Amino acid sequence: MRILIREVKNHLDSEVEISGWAQNIRIMSSVLFIELRDVSGTVQGVLLKKGNEELFDSLKTIPRETVMSMEGQAVKSQAKIGYEVQIKNLEILNKSETPLPLGVVDKIDSDIETRLENRYLDLRRPEKLSIFKVQSTIANSIRDYFVQQGFIEIHSPKIVAAATEGGTELFPVKYFERNAYLSQSPQLYKEIMMSAGFDRVFEVAPAFRAEEHNTPRHINEFTSIDMEMSFVNDDDVMDVLENVIKVAGQSIAESNERELEILGVSKPSLDYKFKRISYSEFVKMANQRGIKLKDGEDLSTPVLKTVGGEINEFYFITRWPRELKPFYVQPFDEEYSRGFDLQFGELEITSGAQRVHSPEVLVNNLKNKGLNPESFSFYVNAFRYGMPPHAGWAIGLERLTMVLLNISNIRETTLFPRDRTRVTP
Ligand code: ATP
């Protein structure tokens, strides 16, 4: 039975069978060394020419990254990791072609375009694989947390008729004889679920944004972790969000020690209370730092860089001006709303809010934003027959991964990024 390479150390002095990619093959006169890699790590296989002439000769010309299985004795040795496998049998399962379009063990990192073009090879590198092992921990720990807290997981449609925020950031799709769009957010549907009485829901699913900008933090298809709860306000869901981030950080610290080591990053230490800074305070902070910013203006990237850059931790910006938030955000007073963002330094990770629950306020807000309530009737109707007060938020999984692993380009935390110029692979 095949075992994973990292399990070899538990089978010293016995026979093992391992499979993987031959990332390096070296011949020292009458000894051949094969560095075999699988998802769990690497180990050296050793083959003596004496007694294995035929196999030895056939392996001399085997290209790197060939997939093979080997059987042999696991023994302690001089190898860096302290043990190796003395090959008895070896089967080539699939020979690699040469030359490789992208080196896997080469020390020099190729440019990101070449790497993305050959992503299957790029992802064979332990440091790239590690990013996605950690991302899996993040998504699973958040999912577990929600389930424990009594949330129902939902799957809302990704082909929709109306724009969530009425914006232009939508990809049109031909839907038989009509026009439809790829969903930019499950916002309207998760709110409808509050009217449906589901009380608390979450969804982990793709969101599509036809945003033209090409930045290190935007992609055109990202994974949105969304939640919505009934009978709560903005402060309550900020508490939930803080817990969720801490649970994710804790899970990484517990489950991904090896990956963090490979990536050279330390365990996330999140044992502080996330500050809640109001939008107006933030504007003051900007002005104190010499930025001319009026209350009511959006917080641009340079503003977030200057002020947020100094706050090297998670913090909320709360009570945003109503003008700057979508129609479904509950007003706090005439000017401000119950909308908030979670930031890490200059980067926005989450936006959330207590939502409007009164159908009259909703219709008014839609009109004020220049939207036609008629095109939202499937949504507005859900507010007319008993909609509870509710609140929720959405985190971008790729952005959260960036922050927790200190990675500066979102393309690194996305398996197959979709950006302004890339739709393949
Ligand atoms: P930004 O202002 O950074 O463009 P946004 O205000 O459009 O983000 P929301 O619509 O509030 O973002 O989406 C909620 C979360 O989803 C964001 O905080 C972010 O984590 C993630 N997100 C949004 N747009 C993108 C994108 N284009 N690429 C990656 N993640 C995104």
What CATH number did the domain enclosing 36 receive? 2.40.50.140
315 with 223, same domain: the answer is yes
283 with 208, same domain: the answer is yes
| Residue 299 Cα distances to 153, 324, 365, 393, angstroms | 33, 10, 22, 19
210 with 314, same domain: the answer is yes
Between β-strands 83-94 and 41-48, what pairing exists: parallel, antiparallel or unpaired? parallel
Residue 161 lies in a domain: yes
Residue 108 lies in a domain: no
Contacts 24+ apart (CB under 8 A), 331-340: 331/356, 331/361, 335/296, 336/279, 336/280, 338/233, 338/234, 338/391, 339/234, 340/234, 340/238, 340/276, 340/316, 340/393
**Nearest-CA neighbor of 365 among 351, 350, 353?**
353
Residue 282 dihedral angles phi and psi, to the nearest 5°: -60, -40
162 with 44, same domain: the answer is no
133 with 252, same domain: the answer is yes
pTM of the model: 0.96
Residue nearest to atom 26 of ligand 1 (CA): 218
Residue 230 lies in a domain: yes
Which residue type occupies 52? N
Among candidate residues 31, 59, 94, the one where a domain is terminated: 94
User: What is the Å distance from ligand 1's center to 268 Cα?
Assistant: 22
Residue 373 near residue 363, CB atoms below 8 Å: yes
User: What is the Å distance from ligand 1's center to 219 Cα?
Assistant: 9
262 with 174, same domain: the answer is yes
Among candidate residues 45, 76, 94, the one where a domain is terminated: 94
183 with 309, same domain: the answer is yes
User: What is the Å distance from ligand 1's center to 186 Cα?
Assistant: 13
Residue 422 lies in a domain: no
| Residue 348 Cα distances to 8, 195, 313, angstroms | 43, 29, 12
Nearest ligand 1 atom to the CA of 400 is 20
141 with 79, same domain: the answer is no
Residues with CB under 6 A from ligand 1: 209, 211, 218-219, 222, 224, 348-351, 394-396, 398-399, 410
- Strand arrangement of the beta sheet that strand 390-396 belongs to: 152-153, 200-208, 221-230, 390-396, 347-354, 339-344, 314-318, 275-278
Residue 421 lies in a domain: no
Residue 390 near residue 228, CB atoms below 8 Å: yes
Nearest ligand 1 atom to the CA of 211 is 27
Print pLDDT tens along the chain (425 aa): 999 999 999 999 999 999 999 999 999 999 999 999 999 999 999 999 999 999 999 999 999 999 999 999 999 999 889 999 999 999 999 999 999 999 999 887 789 999 999 999 999 999 999 999 999 999 999 999 999 999 999 999 999 987 666 667 899 999 999 989 999 999 999 999 999 999 999 999 999 999 998 999 999 999 999 999 999 999 999 999 999 999 999 999 999 999 999 999 999 999 999 999 999 999 999 999 999 999 999 999 999 999 999 999 999 999 999 999 999 999 999 999 999 999 999 999 999 999 999 999 999 999 999 989 998 999 999 999 999 999 999 999 999 999 999 999 999 999 999 999 999 99
220 with 297, same domain: the answer is yes
Residue 143 lies in a domain: yes
242 with 370, same domain: the answer is yes
Torsion sign (Cα): 196, 198, 203, 209 = positive
CB-CB neighbours of 213 under 10 Å: 10
Residue nearest to atom 28 of ligand 1 (CA): 218
User: What is the Å distance from ligand 1's center to 394 Cα?
Assistant: 8
Q: Which residues constitute the domain of residue 44? A: 5-94
Residue 280 near residue 307, CB atoms below 8 Å: no
In the chain, the number of structural domains is 2
Nearest ligand 1 atom to the CA of 342 is 18
Nearest ligand 1 atom to the CA of 341 is 18
User: What is the Å distance from ligand 1's center to 74 Cα?
Assistant: 50
CATH of the domain at 268: 3.30.930.10
Residue 116 lies in a domain: no
Secondary structure (DSSP) of 388-409: --EEEEEEEHHHHHHHHHT-S-
User: What is the Å distance from ligand 1's center to 6 Cα?
Assistant: 38
Residue nearest to atom 30 of ligand 1 (CA): 396
207 with 332, same domain: the answer is yes
Torsion sign (Cα): 234, 237, 239, 244 = negative
272 with 309, same domain: the answer is yes
Residue 47 lies in a domain: yes
Hunting for tokens 């949330």 — which residue is that? 151
Probe target for ligand 1 pocket from 351, 408, 419, with the most ligand atoms within 8 Å of CB: 351
Among candidate residues 76, 94, 112, the one where a domain is terminated: 94
